[in-house]
Structure 1
Amino acid sequence: MNVVVGLSVLLLVFLQENAEGTERNSGYCIGNSCFTLFRDPRTFTSAESQCGVQNSHLMTVRTSVANDVLSVLLGNFSGSFWIGLHRLSGCPDLSEELRGFQWVTTDTESDFTYWLPGSDSSCSAARCVSVNREEDFRWSQKPCDQPAAGFLCEYSFTEPCAILPPDPRESVIYWTPYGFEVEDMQSSTLPPGSIATRFPSETKYICSVEHWLQAPWSCKIKEGGCEHKCTMDHSNDPICYCPPGQTVNLENRVSCKAGATDDPCAALRCQQTCYAVGSVHRCGCSSGLQLDADGRSCVDIDECLDKRQCPEKNFRCVNTLLSYKCVCEKGYKLILGACVDTDECSHAPCEHSCTNTRGSYVCSCYEGYKVDEKAPNTCKLHCGKEECPALCDPNDRFQCFCPDGYVLDERGTSTFCIDIDECHSESFNCNQLCQNTYGSYACSCYTGFKLVDQFKCVEGDDKVTDSFPMTSTPTNPTSPTAPYPDPTRRPSGVTAGGLVGIIVCTVFLVVLAVFAAHLGFNRRGKKENDAGALKGGEDETHGLQRLSDSHTDQVA
């Protein structure tokens, strides 16, 4: 129960730590509302925006009681201060109580009006309202774009706490989550998250769901009210601890005082803190850490191991140092505290068609295409059979395209894509067996071999018993990511003895052929020699005859 209560007030306590650098001068709480004064020159719009940052709005003065609170807060200050009354459009209407103005809460309900006499009723009159001490805090019209000296914010809340029961021996100071102090008896109720401190005992309390809880409370809220640090004891209850040399004041359990000379914690050598459980002292760690196995060191707690963390739908837990945070699952985004499915298809992530799913999306392709395995958001041409019509430019029928593994084939005025049989082409790269597929091919190996890199076959541990091929995954040899393999050949099926016999026969035939050729050359040479000798004798006879004839002619 305490954990739930602590988380319910955490946001309210957080407000007091986020004042955006704006100085709060004073505040007042009554009923279910608190009002704060800011002395910070701003325009009306800027002042309303600053109140909104702190989950409040400019003050509405609907009752005489609210006007009394306003006069108390502004009683010691001069200058004009914005309240949450303005006119959005049109002209002032003096017949209405608010004269055509409305509260910043977008309503006109009011049991009280306090207009400054002689206010401008023209259509050009100023549209925002301020108050000041010099004019008895009457409502005065002021141009919205002119800075006022400051402004008042109004906070609303439920389940308040009544003030603590009085103790004549002590006084009480209350610190509200809206960043201002309230002394004892100045307010009748306080908002959740308010911290009360009694003096001189320094006992602390925090307001949670109409009840005051005494410190130490949850360590996640203002260190549990501890003066130094808060941790969890062995029973997971919050306890305070102090710096070395000091001990916790047992009267209020939150403040620190000087320790005894013989400190029982010194021998424990605790990394962070030491606390007493009765007469026994133990080491402890601050919130978000746990005691290690050595009993003295502190290590980070992985809060996400507790499956109860982030139970809301579509949330997941992320461990952080000393804490954790709840974030949306992938594909979801946080909207108004809930994780809502993101329509990824609205950002057109797919090349063709997109279907939104819970936490993700799925891409699909038009007919004649398929999703590219290497880039699932894109599509590539696909046939899936032996031949398909080519995809041609409607403005240029000669500009046609085919899927990978297909070749263009023109038939008259039509163009088709024909599957390439890679197993009987230069692109065949399988080490052993090849099976053609549409657009690609698949390598496989004989029994006793295993496929490596989709095309290599390496000998395995099994003995080769037959030549039944093993199936393999199809591969595309044109893929730029696949290494181009060295040329390979199918292993020979001839045994070693058969190979030796073939070699001997081949050598014998070669020798026989050489001997026959040599014999043929010798016979041909002898015939040529005899023919040459005979021809030489004839030529010689003819030469002598010619000489004889010539000599006869000369004698005659």
Structure 2
Amino acid sequence: MILTSNAFLISLFLLCGLEEMVLSQHGHCAEEQCYVLFQEPKDFTSAEKKCKDTEGRLSTVISKHIDKMLKSIPSGASGSYWLDLHRATADLQNCSSIAVREGRNFTVSWEPCGEQLNGFLCQYSLGGESCDGLKVGAGAQVKYIAYTGYEVRDSKRFPQGTIAVVGKVGSKYPDSKHVCNNKDWIQAPWFCEVLNGGCEHKCDKKTCLCPAGQTLLPNKITCAADPCAKCAHECQRWGDTYACKCRKGYILAPDRKNCVDVNECVAENPCTGEGEECVNTRGGFQCRCKDGFVKEDGVCVDVSICFKCEHLLCNKTNGVYACQCREGHRVSKKNSTKCEMHCTERECPAKCILNKGLSNNITSLDCFCPDGYIRDGADSANSTEMCIDIDECESGTECDHKCENFYGGFRCECNEGFKLHNVHECLPSEEETTEKGNGSSLGPPNPTAAASHPAAVPSYIKTGSVLGITMFLMMCVMLLLFLLHKAFKRCGKFTFSTIKNQNIDIFYLQQVTAETYKKLSFDKQFTSD
């Protein structure tokens, strides 16, 4: 049932301000009237207004019920309190009050209306919105507490805002709590704005909440010690038994109550991406990029090379960072972090450094040219040292067949049926394809190819030598065959003319002794004579 504003005009004020009144608990209800003693220092006009704001009025009578209430006030409540008895007199400058002295005795007195007394007495009519006694089952008892905090024992009707607490005899906790509203009893929890919704601790959206370590009992208003309160994280229940449970990323400690963090980086190392490393956190882990890597589009990209770039320029191409160079330079093939001079014209200014001697104070100008260029002296127009491209094709290259010069380098080409090998050599190709090769070892264009690949003997000399030697040997063989042919032809027709002559002397060898040889020699001499 919804609590109406009209029904709670009294209780909203009194119940929301009950903290002040509960300390004294000065109230009494009987015979369709309730009397409340407010211990708030006020003058007569302010006290009258306060009673009217709470749908009541200053008490106009002194009844036995007021006497009963005042006698229940402790000695600390002694003082003077405003009443509304001034209508009985024509003196409007002084207003009626009641003075309570030690021994609970009281007397009516008249005080200046502008003076502040210790408090005032308000009177409220139960009217038609009061509640009858709450009906409960057997074995239960009800305790009624008026909105002022005073327990009502001798009444059969109760004003709005009265709290009825139901409980069994000897029970530690109540079974339920109710509030009187528009003749009906509303069970707690109700609106949090009214007496904290009837909750023992905190109320939130008509729901009672308990502090840490306590749990809400079945009456939905009272909190009690939780058997799972010692669990560090969570608790699982099975009837009257329970067990502590840890959240993800934790495991139970040996005491079965506390939870210990799991180091996932050691247990399974879940970070396996390029450039990633695992960092353990409480209850989990994080995959972070290593030093020299940054996260882009969810992956770690290596940027360590950017810290080494000579010209401090770095750019990402196809997902990879690489060094860049300023105008007039390019990245060195030998070292991707270094920059070298680069020229795209036939003539370019040289890079010059002025050096000053340490001993003789003589200055000199050291100038440098890009690879494939040579210093050509100063420009007559602005006295700038210039570099001019070297035409490797005119200066004698090592290309076997053809040579093509470009700024800063050259390129070798092969005739049809040959393919380029080792930058400058042309070898027969089985596929009969024509290929071109750059005379640069640094990629096209590159001015240093010829210098970086020198040959002991030019390849064209090697090829010509082999061809010439082959031809020479073939000619020698043919000449030898020709001479042999001529010789055999002549020997077939050769005859000895002395053999055909009948007068020819035939000589033959005969073994002789020394003496015979002398004799023969002597006879021959004699014959000659």
TM-score, with length taken from structure 2: 0.35
Structure with the greater alpha carbon radius of gyration = 2
Q: Which has the higher contact order (CA 8 A, sep 6+)?
A: 1
Relative to the length of structure 1, the TM-score reads 0.34
